[in-house]
Amino acid sequence: MTGSGPLLVCHPGGPGYDGGSLEDLGGLANDRTLVLVDPAGAGGSDSWTEDAYSLARRADDVDDVRKALGVERVDYLGHSGGGFVGICFAARYPAGVGKLVLVGTIARFTDAFRAESGRQTVLSASEPWFPDAHDAHSRRLARDYADDAEFQYLYRKGLPFMFARFGEREQAYVERRPAAMIDRRTLESFNDHIESLDLRPDLPRIEAETLLVNGEHEPQRAGEQELLDGIPNARLAIVEDAGHFPFVEQPERFRATVLPFLSS
């Protein structure tokens, strides 16, 4: 845990990142005690098993965190893949969730999402890092790597596409992260089942007041409306001049977006 104030359970994305990847969430730690979850297989968690990536299992793990904290309800923030877990957690344990914040999250991977991802990629074509990043990203998706070290290298090389611009702040964030920044087993297991991911049936079961947060240049924006239509009490906030990591790219704007919602 880090920070001070009311508890906020925070689940990283990837899937396969550890809780430390969220850092102080753009300064939210000044006003909230961040419970930074290390999902199975990542960071300090050694509870990985060889079964397929399971959102239900990870949602149950989050409820175990809630019980360990000794509280009936927790506010929850999930980034990217952590948002998938958040949707499942809020649907399975509606009485256990106070406020729900979903950052860079979609209910399923659609053709509209893929088209938007491609469009955002092309917008970076003039950047000097583009050829190497594009090659690395393509190789990583094709699993064209011999071992974990090569996987990690390709993953890091492709990271610029996740930001609206890969400037000094974004580069510094990547440099701060460990050399093995994402758990390969988790990401591969997730990607093996990505086509069957469809969280739309879970959305109507969410009782928590929900804030959807997307960077202005976030491909996940293609799925905003499905979440807004499906979650009974949801609203949307856009962080300008940001991509998939708004708490890194625009920390002040991110904090000013999320904190009033949590405090209301």
Q: What does the alpha-carbon distance between residue 185 and residue 239 come to, in Å, rounded to a whole number?
A: 31
Instruction: Assign 235 a pLDDT band (cuts: 50, 70, 90).
Output: very high
Q: Supply the pLDDT for residue 45.
A: 66
pTM listed for this prediction:
0.95
In DSSP terms, which residues pair with 213 in a beta bridge?
103, 237
Mean pLDDT across the chain: 94
Handedness of CA 66, 69, 73, 78 (dihedral sign): negative
In the chain, CATH 3.40.50.1820 covers: 2-111+197-263
Q: How far apart are CA 29 and CA 179, in angstroms?
A: 25
**Residues 46-79 pLDDT 10s:** 666 665 568 998 999 999 999 999 999 999 999 9
Question: For residue 245, what pLDDT band results from cuts at 50, 70 and 90?
Answer: very high
Would you state the CATH architecture of domain 2-111+197-263? Answer: 3-Layer(aba) Sandwich (3.40)
For helices 81-92 and 55-69, give the axis angle rounded to 10 degrees: 70
CA distance 209 to 262: 10
Phi-psi region of 45 (alpha: psi -120 to 50; beta: other; left: phi over 0): beta
Mean pLDDT of 184-204: 92
Which pair of structure tokens corresponds to residue 187? 């990401």
How many Cα atoms occupy the beta-carbon half-sphere of 74 within 13 Å?
Answer: 26
